[in-house]
A and B are shown apart, each in its own frame.
Chain A
Amino acid sequence: MNFRVAGLAAGLSLLLAACASAPPPGPGPSVVDERVRQPAREESAGVQVFPLENPAVAELMADASSAELEGRHEQAAMLLERALRIQPRNPELLQSMAEVQLQLRDYDQAMGFASRSYDLGPRVGELCSRNWRTIGVAREYLDDERGAAEAEQHARACKITKPEGL
């Protein structure tokens, strides 16, 4: 029964998708949360890297994150750009921009900012995982499945492997 309903719903949505001329919906805030932030947080439990925060940047980031929550992604991007003028090499900031770009469906820019964040960031732990997950999701939307799988592997490698005892 449930399957039938589900099948019907799936059929309907396929039909609707076929009719619609608009591009398929991009990654909304839930995708960024579910597929980037949350798994990154879980995987790297206990290993956190906190870059020193400049109060001005913190203020702008907080504003950007409220704008993002309200769905005003352009505004969020503008605020993050302002913050990046102050700290252009802040990996946390660059990754936030990457996640906003993902929601703006600018996948190239999402990958660009995430890569820059990775290059400048700790290359391990939560931020690293967010970097690669963003790249993975972006590649998926760009139909680069192999690339997405590679990114997934990179994301898993961000987990710090503590040195084994001798």
Chain B
Amino acid sequence: MATKRKKKTAHKRRPAPARKRRWPGRLWRLFLLFCGISLGLLAPWVLYLNYQVTTEFEGRKWDLPSRVYARALEVYPGALLTLPDLRVELEAAGYREAKSVTQPGQFRMQGGTVEVWRRGFRFQDGLEGEQHVELVLTGQSVKSVRAASNGQELGLFRLEPAEIASIYPLEKEDRTLVRIADVPPLLVTGLQAVEDRNFKHHPGVDARGIARAAWANLRAGKAVQGGSTLTQQLVKNYFLTHERTVLRKVNEAIMAILLEIHYDKAEILEAYLNEVFLGQQGAYAVHGFGRAAEFYFDEPLKDLDPEQVALLVGLVKGASFYNPRRHPERAKARRDQVLADFAETGLLTPEAARAAAERPLGVTPSPRTRGTRYLSFVDLVRRQLSQVYAEDDLRSEGLRVFTTLAPFEQEKAQAAVSRGLADLAQRGLSADLQGALVLADTATGEVRALVGDRDGDRPGFNRAIHARRQVGSVIKPLVYLLALEHPDSYNLLTRIEDAPIPLRQPDGSTWSPDNFDKVSHGRVSLLEALTLSYNQATVRLGLEVGVNSMVSRIAQLGVNADVDPVPSVFLGAVELTPLEVTQVYQSLANGGFSVPLRSVVAVQTPGGDELVRYPMRLLPQPHREAIGVLNYALTQVVERGTAKALPGLLGKSLTVAGKTGTTNDRRDSWFVGYTRNRVAAAWVGLDDNRPAGVTGSNAAMQLWARLFRDLAVEPVDLRVPDGAHYLWVDAANGKLSAEGCPGAVQLPYVDGSEPRDTTACGATAQEKDKESLWKKWFGRDDQ
């Protein structure tokens, strides 16, 4: 029947129906064709998107900037530390001064008492929790360290180190990764309440959400709400560009669905929490809630209060529009709206939400500085790291780099260079003078401060590391060291001739070095020639010890530089950087134990696993007894030699050892000096190597003195090692003498270099001495 009727009908409408019958058929075929082509295209397209989603999301790894830390300040009773220095350290570590200390990251200073609430930190050797302490400082040092809670005395407290730099990924994203388990629950639920209430149930796109948004937009006559789910937002940020096209929207929806098929909600949310853009610091984009918490509140994410969580959640909508530092009112309105949403969805009680809305934004006035401080020093860090790590790893692996920088010493060093040079300009020297300063711990070889430009924070040419300049007389002590290493021939009072000495040059010409004062001084002692820096005597002595021994001694002291074995080496025709000069003197300052200078002590993964450590290594130098004797002579340079203006500049009585250096035509000014605990080299000159009118004492020494005037330093240790000893001698004729005899001085001698003759007074005294040996023994024991 039906067939019949159909046929009949078909038959009835014959002429046209033939077409009619054909059209649906055609349409159908066209439709099928369309579907076929679409499927043929769509299927591979979806497959392609699926591939993209799975591979990229599976192997998702954010590039994390590496963090560079200063050294951790150790505070203990007796530690040399002044209140201003402690303040610099606290501020560098991002502490804020408060009227009362109520949370980690705050401090309070009242008189000599400093209350500090340290944050928890994973130090190089392990995690230490937060700690609330009270420190008492008296002038130059720490008197006591007590727990704030019960007043219990603590032997040792350390401040977490200042973060001095970040080495960022090339795409300039800053991020601190968080795991969803460590995120405050209110953030997890609150984010959904505000951005995507149906997150738990939708398959990646949310039809109801889109409809609701469309309705709201329609009513408002403009786009006021977005219908994107958190998954779509993640896809947009993660895989797609920001252009607004239909194709992109479609891709976004497909990818969101695919993402939901492959991964569970927690994984997606965790990715979102780390990916979302929440602010901008200079050239660096702040991504993720972990970093945002640090950026806005200087607190770890897990410690945030409800109103702080609400502020961050509110920023998702527009981090620059609601920037709480730039538009606090806008930000507060947005935050309070979010708090209302929290209350509406039952995440907070209405009372709690109201109370939270009454609190201030709590945003720090400015983010803790990142990557902008102490550029010269960070240069050195990069150089040391580049021996182990590729630049890419530093930019992406989130490494924790522990360095040796002491913020308060670095600040002083920078000030010493910039103010010192400004002062020299006022005194008539060129305003274009440049300077460099390297300060290291004598015993550990740890570089505490490094300045490579007169403007400490200016990027660019780092003279402390890269400027190879002639060192002039700064090298001379090595000539005397080599002489003292031959005790059968030399002691400090051995006479040498300071007289013109013509030298045949490689090109056949003759060169005869002048003294600085253009005068030859005749027969002088080694001590006098060194302290007064006589060129002619030094060259003569140098020729006696041999130019090749000189070249190898420089290498032995830890400097890897090309040195021509020519006699001008004795007068400093050697090009070294301030850092290398510091290395040479570190060995002298540390009793002949070289320690390779270090700026990095350890590198760890973001989780705290050690990747590499640079332990302190001692490399004993040969002839330490001669180094001990030289050490004394270098204190005499300061006491009566070319650096005798130094004590006045320091304004304190302190045994310091050092050496000035000036190069030809006054192009370079050097001063290298040390105390028991610090060694530093300062250089001043012009970048283009023109004559600059500088001498060791009129320029570099001024910078050095400015730094050391303000440092807690200890006097040079004048004790000599085994193989050397002090004797009373007659300074004028070098004969053995005795305490109390006219002209007698106490000088160190390498064993075997003692004078053979004795003065008359000395001989009598020695006889008496023998008699009173017993008395001497017990007289000493009684003390």
Contacts and interface: CB of A to CB of B under 8 A. Distances in A.
Given A56-B74, A56-B155, A115-B620, A88 B125 contact: no
Interface in A77-136: 77-79, 81-82, 84-86, 88-89, 109, 111-113, 115-116, 118-120, 123
Residue picked from A79, A111, A118, A119, most chain B C-beta under 10 Å: A119
A88 B442 CA distance: 9
A116 B591 contact: yes
> Which residue of A75, A88, A120 has the most chain B CB atoms within 10 A of its CB atom?
A88
Nearest to B774: A166
Contacts of A56: 74, 76-79, 155-156
Nearest to A89: B443
Nearest to A163: B777
Contacts of A54: 76-78
Interface string B578-621: 00000000000001010000000000000000000101111110
Contact of A109 (B74, B591, B618): B618
Nearest to A94: B618
Contacts of B441: 85, 88
Interface residues of B, number: 31
B619 A112 contact: yes
A119 B156 contact: no
Given A60-B156, A78-B125, A119-B721, A112 B620 contact: yes
Given A59-B156, A85-B444, A163 B721 contact: no
Contacts of B76: 54-56, 86
Most central of B443, B618, B619, B774 by chain A CB within 10 Å: B618
A58 interface: yes
Contacts of B171: none
Contacts of A123: 722
Contacts of B624: 119
Nearest to B610: A74
Nearest to B777: A163
Given A119-B591, A163-B774, A84 B78 contact: no
Nearest to B156: A56
Contacts of A82: 74, 125
A84 B125 contact: no
B406 to A, nearest CB: 11
Interface in B640-698: 676-677
Query: Which of B124, B125, B624, B777 has most chain A Cβ within 10 Å?
Result: B125
A119 B444 contact: no
Nearest to B75: A56
A142 to B, nearest CB: 14
Given A59-B155, A116-B593, A81 B77 contact: no
Contacts of A118: 722
A4 B677 CA distance: 60
Contacts of B676: 89
A55 B156 contact: yes
Interface in B38-54: none
Nearest to A119: B721
Contacts of A113: 618
Interface residues of A, number: 29
B712 to A, nearest CB: 13
A92 to B, nearest CB: 15
B716 to A, nearest CB: 12
Given A55-B77, A112-B619, A75 B591 contact: no
B74 A86 contact: yes
Given A55-B77, A116-B593, A119-B721, A88 B443 contact: yes
A104 B722 CA distance: 28
A116 B443 CA distance: 10
A84 B155 contact: no
A77 B125 CA distance: 11
Contact of B722 (A109, A116, A119): A119
Contacts of A111: 620
A112 B593 contact: yes
B618 A85 contact: no
Interface in A31-86: 54-56, 58-60, 75, 77-79, 81-82, 84-86
Nearest to B442: A88
Interface in B717-733: 717, 721-722
B156 A120 contact: no
B155 A55 contact: yes
A81 B72 CA distance: 13
A78 B722 contact: no
Contacts of B615: 77-78, 81
B154 to A, nearest CB: 9
A60 B77 CA distance: 14
Given A59-B156, A85-B444, A89-B443, A116 B124 contact: no
Contacts of A77: 615
A58 B624 CA distance: 30
Contacts of B443: 84, 88-89
A134 to B, nearest CB: 13
Nearest to B676: A89
B624 to A, nearest CB: 7
A88 B77 contact: no
A64 B674 CA distance: 31
A48 to B, nearest CB: 15
Residue of A54, A85, A166 with most chain B CB atoms under a 10 A cut-off: A85
A111 B446 CA distance: 21
Given A56-B155, A59-B155, A59-B156, A116 B618 contact: yes
A107 B625 CA distance: 23
A8 B77 CA distance: 59
A18 B766 CA distance: 63
Contacts of A112: 593, 617-620
5 contacts: A55-B156, A79-B125, A82-B74, A112-B617, A113-B618
Listed from nearest, the 8 A-B pairs whose CB atoms lie closest are A88-B443, A56-B76, A112-B618, A56-B156, A55-B155, A59-B155, A119-B721, A56-B155
Interface of B: 74, 76-79, 124-125, 155-156, 441-444, 446, 591, 593, 613, 615-620, 624, 676-677, 717, 721-722, 774, 777
Given A54-B76, A88-B444, 10 more contacts: A55-B76, A55-B77, A56-B74, A82-B125, A85-B441, A86-B74, A86-B76, A112-B617, A116-B618, A120-B591
